[in-house]
A and B are shown apart, each in its own frame.
Chain A
Amino acid sequence: MRTHTKKTAFDYIIIVILLAVCFACIYPMWYIGVNSFAAPEVANRGASAWWPSALSLDAYKVVFENEYILSGFKITILRTVVATITHVLFTSMVAYAMSRPGLIGKKVYMKIAMITMFFNGGLIPNFILMIKLGLYDSFWVYILPGMFTFYNMVIFMSFFRTIPESLIESARLDGASEFRIYWSIVLPNSRPVIATIGLFTAVYHWNDYYQGIVYVRDKALEPLQTILYKLLAETSMTSAQQQAMLALGGETTSATVKFAAMVVGSLPIICLYPFIQKHLVKGVMLGAIKG
């Protein structure tokens, strides 16, 4: 097998390139990570390239002193889990039906769906809609509007096309309903794409702060990222506001706190990836087909 062959020059070139990529990607994380621990008197003078000369946990204290941070974590986790599951199931179900040959109205449906990717009415009508639907200031505002996207639907469709037609046909001959086929043939054979879309969706929901700003007024419903965003509010401040704040003698949030907030906000979701990776390995699907 291939694993027996000796390493060639080509292998070494690949390794060198990938090591360079690794360094370029990890250095910003390192920079953020170590500087989030910098002591205030060091951080005042600027960030350190490799290692701050004095360390402290002050920045993390600022982040964790926020009284809503725990409820924020809960909401974010709950939201990410529920939204990812509903999105993947709902979008893949529509995608499966849309990918079947001979579906009446397919072209029209496709156009209807395509338009949703390019056109949107903007913030104000969406806001009014959420109020009318009773979703304003409700947990479900995180879930329902995000249940479907055209983009993910076509990605599902393109993967579903690679499932051998024979598998589906044989199930149909056994008298399985379409939903049954989708549920017990198509889904189990699509682990890589489910893992991928699931990851994309989970990361989106984990990182989204905007819905928490616009559609939620109850602080107990705010997700983590909204709370962290508030903590760092002046990054989005206009210069007029900033001048006003400085005129007051207010202190701008130091870079250290920004970095600490980022670490707190993204460490959990970063840890998700190794688990997802399990499903991105070769032969998963093939095994299922053969089995």
Chain B
Amino acid sequence: MKRYLAILLVLCSLLSLAACGTEPAVTSDAPEATDAAVTDSGLDPNTPAWTTDTSAIELEWFVGASWYPYTWGDSLSTQNITEKTGVDIEIITPTGDVSEELNLMMISGTLPDLITLGSWENCFSTLYEQGYTWALNELADQYDPYFYNVVDSSVVAWHTKSDGNLYCVPNDAYGAEQMAETGMTAAVQTFLVRKDLYEDMGSPDMSTPEGFLEALRLLKSDFSTYKGETITPFYAQGGSGYGLTDYLQNFLAVPYEDEDGNIYDRVTDPDYIEWLKVLRQAYEEGLIGIDYLVDSDDQVTEKSNNGRYFCMLREWSGMQEANGILANSENPDSYYIAIDGPANSDGDAPLIFPGSLDGWMCTFISKDCENPERAIAFLTYMLSEEGQMDMFLGVEGETYEVVDGVPQLTDEMIDLMNNDAETFATQYGLVDTYWMLRNSVIVDQWRPESPYYITEMSDWADENAYVDGGIYNNLEPTGDSDAAVAATRIDQRWQEVVPELITAESEEEFDSILEAFLADRDSYGYDLVVEYEQELLDARKALFD
């Protein structure tokens, strides 16, 4: 009897389990109570909806960054925003893997109202492709046409999916024109050297293979220990997957497409291969190691904070903390500065990667949201100049004042920001604390100036940024399509091959390893990847013609 009962129990549960995939509205039909009349008569496209309804409401906001430490409601800026709009926010951050947690929320139908997520997360496309989020254009048409006044049309065009809908808005999106206009490019790729050491060596030119090797030889013979530190000659950020691939290719001005508009195979570019051989040569002579492929993040931080690296292919943004420490140490000149790095045989200017219309993270409104009209109104507010100001500068007279028509943070605020960033963020919550919908184009005009040890790195990147390069950002297929799987395999294989190339005992061995890789690459389905990228690139170009 018990046995039957148990079997029955199991069967019942099986059935219920099988039936309970979730049932999101896969069709992206407009929200309930679709009523064209409302749109036509009730809403004035010049009045933002957040000003008409400021009743108290709470929204959950998922920020897809496990490290995001701030909450809503304790700081001055968030209290001000809640007071103005009536919207109180509960910020939720993932504890473990972002995609894993969002997948579970999708399955259980408990998605938070607002979702901010990086496009590199593998559940990013699931959110809109499988119907878990609202099309923002539909919400805007129905509830808040003012939305179109606060989003840049090029951003809308860039992020509109093939079904004609806009599902999310990015933060930190940069258009080429804006970058050219403002000179702020969000470019971060630099070639850094330790200032005092580099100058003591006579500031050698390191942009040619010979110059690079000579400098390293000089370092080995005369400066292997410097001011009490054992010097590590070279570092490449992200190791073989980034620093020695895209990053180095950008310095060598390797193009993304040939003259005919076909996707260019950047890996087989002669200049790039030559520089990999230079690194191999340097390794053979004992001028560099492969520690940058092996070290943990803690070790890299330790070496940077002590000024143990000589030169680095490294994003300057990651060196802000270290440079601060070094500039305030007993050797105030031991911080890192940007110089001209490896260049191709023609001496072309590098194509340093700029910010792009992709932005950093994107914000969605989920279909589990019970008040999409308030969510879209809130989004509109945050994206507007007024919202940006409230978020970045706070309250006039209290945290910022207008001098000669230009709003700027008060001196006390700047002081607090530079000396006690933690208190600044938790009590006032200004500047970059709530970056989820930050529009850099707007806020950069209010940004206080950085110290010299930062600008000496960032200015170089801004000057050398390839402002038209945004179109090539994120061309690689993602998700679980065949092309994406092929791309992942090729990418992971390449990460293993680079160390083999650099530690190869001779140029012949180097060549044969590279040849074997290229054969592997074809067998993994390189043509699928190229096909995908070509299609995407052509579509993007069409968008801007």
Touch test A–B (CB under 8 Å): yes
List chain A positions with a Cβ less than 8 A from chain B: 44-47, 123-125, 127-129, 131-132, 136, 210, 212-214, 217, 226, 229-230, 233-234, 236-252, 255
Decide yes or no: A131 and B118 within 8 Å by CB, A125-B17, A243-B315, A243-B318 being known contacts.
Answer: no
- Residues from chain B with a CB closer than 8 A to the CB of A233 are 66-67, 95
Decide yes or no: A132 and B306 within 8 Å by CB, A213-B96, A255-B298 being known contacts.
Answer: no
- Residues from chain B with a CB closer than 8 A to the CB of A251 are 321
Q: Out of B66, B93, B325, B432, which one reaches A44, CB within 8 Å?
A: B325
Other A-B contacts than A123-B100, A127-B104, 9 sampled, CB-CB below 8 A, are A45-B306, A46-B302, A123-B104, A128-B17, A226-B95, A237-B67, A241-B67, A245-B65, A252-B301
- What's the minimum C-beta distance from B434 to chain A, rounded to whole angstroms? 11
Q: Is residue B320 contacting chain A, with contact meaning CB distance below 8 A?
A: yes
The 6 closest A-B pairs by CB, nearest first: A233-B66, A46-B302, A246-B318, A213-B95, A247-B317, A213-B96
Complex-state Cα separation, A240 to B476, whole angstroms: 14
Specify the chain B residue showing the minimal Cβ separation from A239. Answer: B238
Specify the chain B residue showing the minimal Cβ separation from A129. Answer: B17
- Would you mind naming 17 contact pairs between A and B with Cβ atoms under 8 Å apart? A125-B17, A128-B108, A131-B108, A132-B16, A226-B95, A229-B95, A233-B66, A237-B67, A239-B241, A241-B65, A243-B238, A243-B315, A244-B361, A246-B317, A247-B318, A248-B435, A249-B432
Name the interface residues of B58-96: CB closer than 8 Å to any CB of A: 65-67, 93, 95-96
Complex-state Cα separation, A251 to B422, whole angstroms: 10
Contact A237 B66 (CB under 8 A): yes
Contact A45 B302 (CB under 8 A): yes
Would you give the 0/1 interface string for B91-113, flagging 1 where the beta carbon is closer than 8 Å to chain A? 00101111011011001101000
Q: Out of A124, A131, A136, A246, which one reaches B103, CB within 8 Å?
A: A124
Specify the chain B residue showing the minimal Cβ separation from A241. Answer: B65
Contact A244 B118 (CB under 8 A): yes
Decide yes or no: A127 and B107 within 8 Å by CB, A246-B317, A247-B317 being known contacts.
Answer: yes
Interface of A is mostly: helix
List chain B positions with a Cβ less than 8 A from chain A: 13, 16-17, 20, 65-67, 93, 95-98, 100-101, 103-104, 107-108, 110, 118, 120, 188, 238, 241-242, 297-298, 301-302, 305-306, 315, 317-318, 320-321, 325, 360-361, 432, 435
Decide yes or no: A128 and B120 within 8 Å by CB, A242-B297, A246-B317 being known contacts.
Answer: no
- Residues from chain A with a CB closer than 8 A to the CB of B318 are 243, 246-247
- What's the minimum C-beta distance from A227 to chain B, rounded to whole angstroms? 9
Complex-state Cα separation, A226 to B93, whole angstroms: 13
Number of A-B contacts (CB under 8 A): 96
Q: Out of A128, A229, A244, which one reaches B360, CB within 8 Å?
A: A244
Contact A247 B66 (CB under 8 A): no
Complex-state Cα separation, A170 to B523, whole angstroms: 72
Complex-state Cα separation, A248 to B68, whole angstroms: 11
- Residues from chain A with a CB closer than 8 A to the CB of B315 are 243, 246-247
Specify the chain A residue showing the minimal Cβ separation from B318. Answer: A246
Complex-state Cα separation, A124 to B18, whole angstroms: 12
Contact B17 A214 (CB under 8 A): no
- What's the minimum C-beta distance from B201 to chain A, rounded to whole angstroms? 24
Decide yes or no: A249 and B317 within 8 Å by CB, A46-B306, A237-B67 being known contacts.
Answer: yes
- What's the minimum C-beta distance from B71 to chain A, rounded to whole angstroms? 10
Complex-state Cα separation, A213 to B118, whole angstroms: 20
Complex-state Cα separation, A245 to B20, whole angstroms: 37
- Residues from chain B with a CB closer than 8 A to the CB of A243 are 238, 315, 318
Most chain A CB within 10 A, of B67, B98, B302, is at B67
Complex-state Cα separation, A225 to B144, whole angstroms: 44
- Residues from chain B with a CB closer than 8 A to the CB of A127 are 104, 107-108
- What's the minimum C-beta distance from B208 to chain A, rounded to whole angstroms? 29
- Residues from chain B with a CB closer than 8 A to the CB of A241 are 65-67, 98, 118
Complex-state Cα separation, A128 to B22, whole angstroms: 10
- What's the minimum C-beta distance from A38 to chain B, rounded to whole angstroms? 12
Contact A249 B95 (CB under 8 A): no
- Residues from chain A with a CB closer than 8 A to the CB of B242 are 239
- Residues from chain B with a CB closer than 8 A to the CB of A237 are 66-67
Contact A234 B66 (CB under 8 A): yes
- What's the minimum C-beta distance from B172 to chain A, rounded to whole angstroms? 9
Decide yes or no: A236 and B108 within 8 Å by CB, A243-B318, A247-B317 being known contacts.
Answer: no
- Residues from chain B with a CB closer than 8 A to the CB of A214 are 96, 100-101, 104
Complex-state Cα separation, A251 to B435, whole angstroms: 15
- Residues from chain A with a CB closer than 8 A to the CB of B238 are 239, 243
Complex-state Cα separation, A250 to B360, whole angstroms: 15
- Residues from chain A with a CB closer than 8 A to the CB of B104 are 123-124, 127, 214
Contact B96 A236 (CB under 8 A): yes
Decide yes or no: A240 and B120 within 8 Å by CB, A124-B103, A230-B66 being known contacts.
Answer: yes
- Residues from chain B with a CB closer than 8 A to the CB of A230 are 66, 93, 95
Complex-state Cα separation, A131 to B435, whole angstroms: 34
Contact B317 A132 (CB under 8 A): no
- Residues from chain A with a CB closer than 8 A to the CB of B97 are 236
Complex-state Cα separation, A212 to B96, whole angstroms: 10
Contact A45 B305 (CB under 8 A): yes
- Residues from chain A with a CB closer than 8 A to the CB of B13 are 129, 132
Specify the chain B residue showing the minimal Cβ separation from A245. Answer: B67
Most chain A CB within 10 A, of B66, B98, B100, B108, is at B66
- What's the minimum C-beta distance from B104 to chain A, rounded to whole angstroms? 5
Specify the chain A residue showing the minimal Cβ separation from B450. Answer: A249
Contact A136 B108 (CB under 8 A): yes
- Residues from chain B with a CB closer than 8 A to the CB of A239 are 238, 241-242
